[in-house]
């Protein structure tokens, strides 16, 4: 089971009250959703959005078992369609929106889509194979050296992007790079030997970059944040949990711009991180940063 990160802090900043309508834009396996439902009364509802069809189905079954089905609207779609989803389901007013941008443990351990180099799987990396066409395999095997290098630099902050891109393009001429293990080996061979002695696996940043590029994660986030401010009611809360510097920078800059424009009041001067106790219980939470703001105008 996926452990929701910063659950208590997220609910506290979201400040859900009885009778309100709230959106969990990254519902996953429902940890934050269920916490919101338990905190609020029977008149409150939650619109749950998740991009991965399998997770949406599993969450629907879990919600039903817990007896919350009358209070939940469940949608399998990309949160970049946030405003459209709200209109379609007439989900107004919106009193709070939560984004947890971390990957579910399900994607790493059960999806079989090549998100992790710990298992030998086909290089897919799509959150929703039913709607999306671009795969990580396509990028690795068909994009130019220059394009691959750009992806690794921009989305992975990979200092050896040029060497890795060159090795990948040479290797794929011999045979396609089809699986996670083949890609991990190519990355490892391209890296300086000293890098293999670091705590972080040499392939970590490459896999992150490919996943972000495959799913257009940063562009989707920028679009969703803009829509979130538009659909929020005055005094509505916006809470975002990010897990790497690229996401956090987007959220931080967005909050600052909207504060200048008079649309948001920032509630977190500095990002909120997990407690030592939470990190010990769930090491994946160590890089989490929570930022929150409240809607102060309607434009």
What is the pTM for the complete model shown? 0.94
Pair (120, 211) in one structural domain: yes
Pair (98, 224) in one structural domain: yes
Domain of residue 85 covers 7-106+217-295
DSSP notation for the chain: -PPPTTHHHHHHHH---TT-EEEETT-TTSHHHHHHHHHS-TT-EEEEEES-HHHHHHHHHHHHHHT-GGGEEEEES-GGGHHHHHHHTT--SEEEEEEE-SPPHHHHHTS-SS--TTS--BS---S-TTT----HHHHHHHS-HHHHHHHHHHHH--TTHHHHHHHHHHHHHHS---BHHHHHHHHHHHS-GGGGGSSS-TTHHHHHHHHHHHHTHHHHHHHHHHHHHHHEEEEEEEEEEE-SHHHHHHHHHHHHHHHHTTSEEES-SS-B---HHHHHH-GGGGG-EEEEEEE----
Pair (14, 102) in one structural domain: yes
Structural domain ending residue among the three candidates 165, 187, 215: 215
Q: What is the pLDDT of residue 160?
A: 93
Pair (226, 244) in one structural domain: yes
Q: What is the pLDDT of residue 41?
A: 84
Pair (121, 208) in one structural domain: yes
Pair (120, 194) in one structural domain: yes
pLDDT above 80: residue 1? no
Pair (96, 165) in one structural domain: no
Residue 1 in any domain: the answer is no
Residue 2 in any domain: the answer is no
CATH no. for residue 224? 3.40.50.150
Structural domain ending residue among the three candidates 159, 193, 215: 215
Residue 91 in any domain: the answer is yes
What confidence tens digit (pLDDT) does each residue in 262-282 have?
999 999 999 999 999 999 998
Q: Into how many domains does the chain fold?
A: 2
Structural tokens at position 135: 């795969």
pLDDT above 90: residue 125? yes
What mean pLDDT do residues 62-77 have? Answer: 95
Distance CA 162, CA 174 (A): 19
Pair (117, 81) in one structural domain: no
Residue 201 in any domain: the answer is yes
Return the CA Rg of the chain. Answer: 20
pLDDT above 70: residue 199? no
Structural domain ending residue among the three candidates 215, 245, 269: 215
pLDDT class of 193 with cuts at 50, 70, 90 = confident
Residue 265 in any domain: the answer is yes
Residue 269 in any domain: the answer is yes
What mean pLDDT do residues 18-33 have? Answer: 94
CATH no. for residue 182? 1.10.150.170
Pair (87, 153) in one structural domain: no
Pair (197, 221) in one structural domain: no
Residue 64 in any domain: the answer is yes
What mean pLDDT do residues 47-70 have? Answer: 95
Q: φ and ψ at 103, to 5 degrees?
A: -75, 145
pLDDT above 60: residue 286? yes
Pair (88, 138) in one structural domain: no
What mean pLDDT do residues 241-263 have? Answer: 97
Pair (197, 224) in one structural domain: no
Residue 101 in any domain: the answer is yes
Q: How far is CA 219 from the centre of its chain?
A: 12
């Amino acid at each position: 089971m996926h452990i929701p990160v910063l659950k208590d802090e997220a609910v506290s900043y979201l400040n859900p009250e009885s009778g309100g309508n709230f959106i969990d834009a990254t519902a996953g396996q429902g940890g934050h959703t269920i916490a919101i439902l338990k905190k609020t009364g029977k008149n409150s509802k939650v619109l749950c959005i998740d991009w991965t069809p399998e997770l949406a189905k599993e969450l629907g079954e879990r919600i039903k078992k817990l007896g919350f089905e009358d209070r939940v609207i469940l949608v399998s779609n990309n949160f970049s369609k946030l405003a459209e989803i709200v209109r379609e389901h007439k989900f107004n007013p919106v009193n709070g929106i939560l984004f947890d941008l971390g990957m579910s443990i399900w994607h790493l351990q059960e999806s079989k889509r090549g998100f992790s180099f710990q298992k030998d799987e086909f290089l897919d990396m799509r959150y929703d194979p039913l709607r999306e066409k671009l795969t990580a395999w396509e990028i690795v095997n068909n994009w130019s050296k220059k394009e691959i290098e750009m992806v690794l630099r921009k989305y992975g902050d990979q200092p050896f992007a040029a060497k890795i891109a060159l090795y990948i393009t040479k290797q794929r001429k011999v045979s396609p790079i089809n699986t996670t293990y083949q890609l991990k080996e190519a990355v490892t061979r391209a890296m300086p030997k000293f890098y293999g002695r670091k705590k972080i696996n040499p392939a970590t940043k490459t896999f992150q970059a490919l996943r972000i590029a495959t799913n257009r994660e940063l562009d989707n986030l920028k679009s969703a944040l803009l829509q979130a401010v538009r659909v929020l009611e005055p005094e509505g809360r916006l809470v975002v949990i990010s897990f790497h510097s690229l996401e956090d920078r987007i959220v931080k800059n967005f909050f600052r711009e909207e504060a200048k424009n008079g649309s948001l009041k920032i509630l977190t001067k500095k990002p909120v991180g997990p407690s030592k106790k939470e990190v010990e219980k769930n090491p994946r939470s160590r890089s989490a940063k929570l930022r929150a703001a409240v809607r102060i105008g309607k434009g």
